[in-house]
């Protein structure tokens, strides 16, 4: 039983590390995107770009619900 508990704990730790890394990547992307946006203020998101960001958000929500 103790072995199973250790495996579960390890899995949770890995999930948390993965989640934090993903959040950091999202922040970096947002920073880069906001800098790019300041350079080109007239740029409007194309449908593909907009759908891409929406898809990323949906993936995040799905991950949260699974846990």
The alpha carbon of residue 57 and the mean position of all alpha carbons in its chain are separated, in whole angstroms, by 7
Once rounded to an integer, what is the mean pLDDT over residues 12-36? 92
% of the chain residues with pLDDT over 90: 36
Residue 53: both structure tokens together = 């960001």
pLDDT on residue 30:
92
Q: Which of 16-20, 28-32, 33-37, 53-57 is least confident?
A: 53-57
Using alpha carbons only, give the angle 27, 31, 36 rounded to the nearest 5 degrees: 145
Tell the residue number behind the tokens 């007239």, with chain if given.
42
- Beta carbons of 15 and 67 less than 8 angstroms apart: yes
3-class secondary structure, 44? coil
Q: Measured between alpha carbons, how far apart are the two ends of the chain, in Å?
A: 22
């Amino acid at each position: 039983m103790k072995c199973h508990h250790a495996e579960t704990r390890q899995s949770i730790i890995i999930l948390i590390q993965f989640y934090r890394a993903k959040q950091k990547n999202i922040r970096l992307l947002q920073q880069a995107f906001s800098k790019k946006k300041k350079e080109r203020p007239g740029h409007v998101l194309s449908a593909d770009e907009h759908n891409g960001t929406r898809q990323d958000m949906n993936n995040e929500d799905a991950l949260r619900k699974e846990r």
